[in-house]
Amino acid sequence: AKGGNPTARSLILVTPDGERTMNTFLGVSPELDHGEVDRDLVAASRIVYLEGYLFDRPEAKAAFRQAARIAGEAGRQVALTLSDSFCVDRHRDEFLELIRGSVDILFANETEITSLYQTTDFDSAAAHAARDAKLAVLTRSGQGSLVLSGKERVEVAPERVPEIVDTTGAGDLYAAGFLFGIARGLPLATAGRLGSIAAAEIISHIGARPEARLKDLAIGAGIDL
């Protein structure tokens, strides 16, 4: 196709400790607007996943809110990932409005959630998240993850890997595993473990696409799917 803005791309630099630095050009992606939200598709989805990276433009914000509204009216769940602490800094008040009013499942890592509540203390941020979100899923790298739902608190241990090669995609794969578990009606602890298994696979090699069959890894870990 000719004309218009180019496809998004990202140059990712991975250091020997497995950490990554992303140099991202979003291209046409942020130009999503409410007219491109497929009402029937959203209403038929068990869970609608909103990506904080795309929240910058007013048109994209309108699309977010429309998708959340359609999902809510259809009795579907809405998940939001904060994506990056810089996104949080730019949109803190609007993210909080979404979390308190439209979001069923919140995903954030430790840096993002402490940025959201403007504190350096994770436990304090987690307490705020437990009050604001119906279900908060907070990842902490090597310390595993914390799942909060009302008064329920589930600590999920990290899955061990021989070597951390590349952390690119760890949060995305964790969310994928967790949401799979929620969509299947599994307990929060099991959903969290599925997230950890998926994240562990992705950090064991270069690249953000699994090289093993995640279902087989889950079954091998004793999870009944």
Active site residue 121: no
Which residues neighbour 206 within 8 Å (Cβ) at sequence distance 6 or greater? 14, 165, 166
Tell me how far apart the alpha carbons of residues 185 and 178 are, in angstroms, rounded to a whole number: 11
Handedness of CA 119, 91, 128, 167 (dihedral sign): negative
In order, the DSSP letters of 109-124 are EHHHHHHHTT-S-HHH
Element (H, E) at 21: strand 20-25
Tell me how far apart the alpha carbons of residues 74 and 69 are, in angstroms, rounded to a whole number: 9
What CA–CA distances, in Å, run from 144 to 50, 67, 187? Answer: 23, 31, 17
Q: Tell me the sheet residues that pair with 81.
A: 51, 107
Q: What is the SS3 assignment for 80?
A: strand
Catalytic residue chosen out of the listed positions 40, 132, 172, 224: 172
Catalogue the active-site residues: 172
